[in-house]
Structure 1
Amino acid sequence: MSELFDEVDEEVRREQFKKLWDKYSIYFIALMVLIVAAVGGWRAYQYLEAKKAAEAGAAFEQAVTLSEQGKHAEAETAFTELAAKAPSGYRTLARLRAAAEAASRDPKAAAKMYDDLAADRGVGGEWQDLARIRAAGLLVDSASYADMQQRLEASATPKSTFRHTAREMLALSAWRNNDMTATRKWLDAIAEDGETPPGLRSRAEALAALLPPVAKS
């Protein structure tokens, strides 16, 4: 008798499953199609992104080769084109290199290119800091100390990645603009930082030796 009941229960379950399948099978099939399409789309996206990165890498290397061959105008054009269409990582590198190539023909134009990069929050803080340092390096011999302060003071703080270079340029700018108090300030910051590179420390000590007596105390 129990076997008969089991057979009846099994038949009822099959009938219920069939009704559910007839009612919802179209949704299940549609879901499976969507999953397959999504996976396929993601794979296609990954492939295209990898292809773009590979193409950008090859174009970047070609531009570097042009630069190494002394073809700076061609290299600048190549880097500028790459900066307009490459994936984000290569785009930032290309903008930096384009500005570096421009520096040999027009330092002020190159500084403006670096300034534009420094103002772009989309590239990230350290890239922005590097662009500020590069721009300041092109202008340190001509800009006022106030201008250099505005450009570099934030990069000269104790935790900044490029603080050593920023402090040295601020000291040099203050010296060039005859602001001995500011020169002393930045030389002291260099001397008191235990992580100051030895070469920079030596240059700072040489500049400190040139200060007038009143600025040495």
Structure 2
Amino acid sequence: MSELFDEVDEELRREQLKKLWDRYSVFIIGAAVLVVAAVAGWRGYQYWEGKRAAEAGAAFEAAVTLADQNKHAEAEAAFTKLAAEAPAGYRTLARLRAAAEAATRAPQEAVKLFDAIGNDTGVAQPQQDLAKTRAAALLVDTAPYDDIRQRLEPITASGRTFRHTARDLLAVSAWRANDTAATRQWLDLIMTDAETPASIRTRAEALQALLPPVAKS
């Protein structure tokens, strides 16, 4: 008798499943198709992104080769194109290199390009700071000390990646402006920072030797 009940239960289950399938099969199949399409789309997107990155990497290397060969106009055009079309990972690097190539022919134009990067909040802070120091380096011989200080002083804070270069440029700018107090301020920061690179420390020592002796009280 129990076997008969089991058979009846099984039959009822089959009947219920059939009704559910008849009612919802379109939705189940549609959901399965969507899942397959989503996976295929994601795989396709990954392939496309990988292909774009590989192409951008090759184009970037080709532009670097042009720059190394002193073909600055061609290199600038190549980097500018990459800055407009490349994936995000290469875009800022290409902008920085394009500005550097522009500096070989038109320093003031390069300053504008570096300033645009330095003021772009979508760019990571180290890259912003690099752009600002590159712009200041192009201006240090001609711009007033106050202009260089406004550009670079925030970058001199402890922990900023390009603080050593910023302090070096500020010391030079202050010395050119005959501002002995400011020159000493930046030289002291350079000399007391244990992480100051040897090349910058050597320049600071040379500049320090040019300053008048400190008056004794």
**TM-score bracket for the superposition, by shorter chain length:** over 0.9
- Aligned partner of 1:42 in structure 2 is 42
SS in 2 for 1:213: coil
SS in 2 for 1:46: helix
- What is the aligned length? 217
What displacement does 1:215 show? 7.1
Counterparts of 2:58 and 2:90 in 1: how far apart (Å)?
A: 11
- Does residue 175 (structure 1) correspond to residue 201 (structure 2)? The answer is no
Distance 1:68-1:215 versus aligned 2 partners, 3 A rule: farther
- Aligned partner of 1:143 in structure 2 is 143
- Aligned partner of 1:9 in structure 2 is 9
Aligned AA (2:199): G
Normalised to the residue count of structure 2, the TM-score between the two structures is 0.96
Aligned AA (2:183): T
SS in 1 for 2:141: coil
The answer to whether the 8 Å contact 1:181/1:215 transfers is no
Counterparts of 1:110 and 1:50 in 2: how far apart (Å)?
A: 32
Equivalent positions of 1:28-107 (< 5 A) are 28-107=28-107
1:2-42 Cα distance to aligned partner (Å, 9 max, x none): 11111111111111111111111111111001111111111
What displacement does 1:81 show? 1.2
Moved over 6 A (4+): none
SS in 2 for 1:122: coil
What displacement does 1:161 show? 0.8
- Does residue 194 (structure 1) correspond to residue 178 (structure 2)? The answer is no
| RMSD (Å), alpha carbons | 1.4
What displacement does 1:214 show? 3.8
Counterparts of 1:174 and 1:199 in 2: how far apart (Å)?
A: 19
- Does residue 125 (structure 1) correspond to residue 142 (structure 2)? The answer is no
Q: Percent identity?
A: 68
Aligned AA (2:91): R
- Does residue 112 (structure 1) correspond to residue 108 (structure 2)? The answer is no
Counterparts of 2:61 and 2:216 in 1: how far apart (Å)?
A: 49
Gaps of 5+ in 2: none
